[in-house]
Amino acid sequence: MRTTTTRSDNSSNIFYNYYSSPSSSRCKIEDIQKKFLSCHVCKELYRQPKLLPCLHSFCLPCLNSYVPDHSLSLACPICRQHSILPVSGVSGLRDNNFVSELATQLRNFLGKEAYMQPFNPSETMAITCLQHEQVDVSHYCVDCDTIICGACIQVEHRDHTMKILNEFVVDEKVSLEKTLKKLINHSKPPTLALRNIEKTQDKLMKQTLQSEQTINEHYGHLIKALEHRREYLLAQLFKKSSEKKEILNFQKRSVENLKSTLDLFKESIESCLTLIDDPVKIILAKKELQDSLEQFFSTASSLPNQKENDKGDKTLEDEINELNIIPADLGVILCSSAVAHETTASGENLKKCHLNNPARVVVTTKNFKGVVVSNLGAKLSAKITYLNTSDSTAFKLDKKRPKSAQNTEMTLDVVQLEINLFGQPICNSPFTIKIKPELPGTSSKKSALNSNRLRETSFKTSPRPLHANRKPSSASASQHDGPCQRIGSKGHNKGEFMNLQGIAVHDERIAVADSNGQCVQIFSLEGDCLLKFGVKGRSPGQMQRPTSVTFTPDGQNILVSDYENKWIGIYTIEGKFLSRLGHGKLVGPKGVAIDAQGRVVVVDNKSSTVFLYTLSGKILGKFGLRAIDHESSGQPVVRNTYAEAQARMAGPHFCAIDPIDGDVVVTDFHNHKVKVFTSEGQYKFTFGSAGDGNGQFSAPTGVCIDSQGNILVADWGNSRVQIFDKNGSFLCFIDTSSDPLYGPQGIAMTKDNDIIVADSGNHCLKIYKQLL
């Protein structure tokens, strides 16, 4: 119900004139306070109200506590519209003087205790007319949606549709009662769902506590076993050490005795040589010493074998090394965030399969956001039901055929495959599958399909995310080392960059768009700058902010996306300007590519749209519009469908064309995702989410596709490059720890599958060898 008022010099008259009954004024004015004069943050009367660009008002202290420090923008707490804050911050927003004055008058009129008193619904509510004071309202004007008195009917509302107020109120009550019944009926499913969620929460809590208790018990036993093992090993060590000490002491005494005997013989010989001059005495002395030496050498023990002292040490060391490895394999928590309604199945065998041939189905587990997750702990089951036969265990045979021909001349059968995750059917389940006759040459084996299970089920998941602060080991997802080549540095000269963004490769040449340098440079794969062209300006042939480049299929021309000039410039390979396309249609072109059909694919960053052009400039189509563009015609549209919601983009940057099937891969910068469309612009799927784990993004920028169909994405916010397969499953990333990236932008592949990255923050190109 709408009621109009006029503002007088004394704003408090609004409250006096609107409600004449003191018993009803508290309720009505309290209603006005809650709806129009209360801040939606603190739920109290406005204090220094500030007006946002979206025309919503909030208290200045509430905005100061709501907006983070050093923030440059503000999202309205009601409509979530983003606004740029003034230089002075929240205090620089416009004051809502009208609301401030009304709040002040309301405080003066009622006082703090008056307007906080509770409303008594038993009191009589007499409502007077706004136009005719002291006259009660009696009718309701349907055309104006307001309540009026009898005098208003004869003047302002003469030809309008009228209803008696009491009858209208009765009708409204009946309508509200019907609405209440509908709400009660509609509230039952959420109530049941809430109970189920609460039961699941309780079950989760119990399972968590039980698992915690089990882990603690097992690890308590394990600790006792380890302690016992430690004591045993120490006892063995001390025992072996004592034995080795005895052996070493014995060997030491033997060597000392041997050495002393040798020293004695040595002294005897030296004394004979120095003291005896008689030849006969020398011969006799030699004869005696020789006999003694022969007897000594024949009876003396040999030196101890040193290897005997090391016997057994290696075994103990190996055992200790094994103990260091054991904690890594002590257990694992099996848990999955996959949900059934987002999990999908794919494969040709979902449509048809052949008798006695293995059937393969790929199940991709996803969480409630549609992001591919691990299937660890996910309970996946399948059931097959035969639709055309009463006997679910036998195929239908043609009895008119001879038995020798029945194996290959079977009539088609139809089965229904139901795939469940945690007992719930996955997306598009059940699937109807046609069973065709056995292929020629297939050996007679057990049928690939039976009534209870699948012949083969495959799962496609991404590997476990690495800890954000831990450097991946050689066995982790990283498959690359540092850059094998670095090209360029910061500057305005030839071969230098100020803010390189998009790059493209054709044969032996690399084209680079330097956004802040207002130019395009061409390099050889060896790093030599072959050409630099581009003049700053806004006229045709000039550049203001080039962001992306691409070669035509023949390599003779270069297309340059100019963000601020709002067109795509076409140049020869020598840098001569030829023409432009998209002028007057584009509002912020960012990425550009050419598909196998010669169509120019342009990613418009500002309008979040992908345009398709011919090289002559004729527009062929567009897709990926924002939500506001869907209602520009004023016609009602169906909203919030899954495909429509997924296809919407927020500030897309670059794109790449799949050379095999022509799919368009677009990086959705502000949604932290990568989206894949068909060549005609139909949405296919999305992968990635906000974060720093494997398969997650923080504002993805450049994208390209290698010869195997793998998708390479430059993760600008996380300063890395990730590699995915053609279905969006994470494979690996480039390990750049030896020379880290800083805000990578464009990315491209050479014919040798080398990866070229535009390292914007380091003002250079980096070339990596791919090891996949």
**264 vs 299, higher pLDDT:** 264
Q: How far, in Å, are 84, 86, 480, 750 from residue 72 at the CA level?
A: 6, 8, 38, 41
In a domain, 135, yes or no: yes
Least confident of 74-88, 122-136, 263-277: 122-136
In a domain, 275, yes or no: yes
3-state secondary structure at position 174: helix
**370 vs 633, higher pLDDT:** 370
Least confident of 12-16, 203-207, 415-419, 717-721: 12-16
**513 vs 659, higher pLDDT:** 513
pLDDT in tens, 715-734: 999 999 999 999 999 988 88
**198 vs 119, higher pLDDT:** 198
- The count of domains in the chain is 4
Q: Which residue has the tokens 């019907």?
A: 178
**CATH number, domain with residue 626:** 2.120.10.30
pLDDT at 9: 42
Residues 343 and 315 in one domain: no
Q: How far, in Å, are 284, 286, 299 from residue 295 at the CA level?
A: 17, 14, 6
Q: Which residue has the tokens 């109120």?
A: 169
Residues 571 and 500 in one domain: yes
Q: 470: pLDDT confidence band, cut at 50, 70 and 90? A: very low
Mean pLDDT over residues 282-305, rounded? 66
pLDDT in tens, 565-605: 999 999 999 999 999 999 999 999 999 999 888 899 999 99
In a domain, 409, yes or no: yes
Q: Is the pLDDT of residue 635 over 50?
A: no
Question: What are the beta bridge partners of residue 604?
Answer: 589, 609
Which regions of 8-138 does DSSP assign to beta strands (E)? 49-51, 57-59, 73-75, 82-84, 94-95
**Residue at which a domain ends, from 265, 300, 329:** 329
pLDDT at 132: 74
**CATH number, domain with residue 51:** 3.30.40.10
Instruction: Please provide residue 257's backbone torsions phi and psi, each rounded to the nearest 5 degrees.
Output: -65, -40
By percentage, how much of the chain surpasses pLDDT 90?
A: 26
**334 vs 134, higher pLDDT:** 134
Residues 527 and 625 in one domain: yes
Mean pLDDT over residues 200-220, rounded? 88
In a domain, 357, yes or no: yes
pLDDT at 630: 42
Residues 325 and 343 in one domain: no
Q: 316: pLDDT confidence band, cut at 50, 70 and 90? A: low
User: CA 472 to CA 466: how far, in whole Å?
Assistant: 7
Range list of H helices, 135-164 = 150-154
In a domain, 190, yes or no: no
Q: Is the pLDDT of residue 116 over 70?
A: no
What H or E segment, with its residue span, contains residue 653? strand 652-657
Q: Is the pLDDT of residue 172 over 70?
A: yes
Domain containing residue 137: 13-167
**Residue at which a domain ends, from 280, 310, 329:** 329
Question: What are the beta bridge partners of residue 95?
Answer: 50
Residues 557 and 663 in one domain: yes
Residues 621 and 760 in one domain: yes
pLDDT at 86: 85
3-state secondary structure at position 30: helix
User: CA 743 to CA 137: how far, in whole Å?
Assistant: 68
Least confident of 419-423, 562-566, 737-741: 737-741
pLDDT at 15: 44
Residues 242 and 324 in one domain: yes
pLDDT at 118: 44
pLDDT at 8: 38
pLDDT at 177: 87
pLDDT in tens, 528-555: 999 999 999 999 999 999 999 999 999 9
In a domain, 760, yes or no: yes
Residues 413 and 292 in one domain: no
In a domain, 466, yes or no: no
In a domain, 126, yes or no: yes
Which regions of 447-526 does DSSP assign to beta strands (E)? 456-460, 485-487, 500-506, 509-514, 519-524
Q: Is the pLDDT of residue 443 over 70?
A: no
Residues 126 and 256 in one domain: no
Is residue 533 within 8 Å of 571, Cβ to Cβ? yes
Q: Is the pLDDT of residue 332 over 70?
A: no
Mean pLDDT over residues 410-438, rounded? 82
**Residue at which a domain ends, from 150, 167, 184:** 167
Mean pLDDT of the chain: 77
**465 vs 215, higher pLDDT:** 215
Mean pLDDT over residues 74-82, rounded? 84
pLDDT at 153: 81
pLDDT in tens, 425-440: 998 888 888 888 776 6
Q: 322: pLDDT confidence band, cut at 50, 70 and 90? A: low
Residues 630 and 752 in one domain: yes
Residues 147 and 202 in one domain: no
Residues 429 and 513 in one domain: no
Q: Is the pLDDT of residue 467 over 70?
A: no
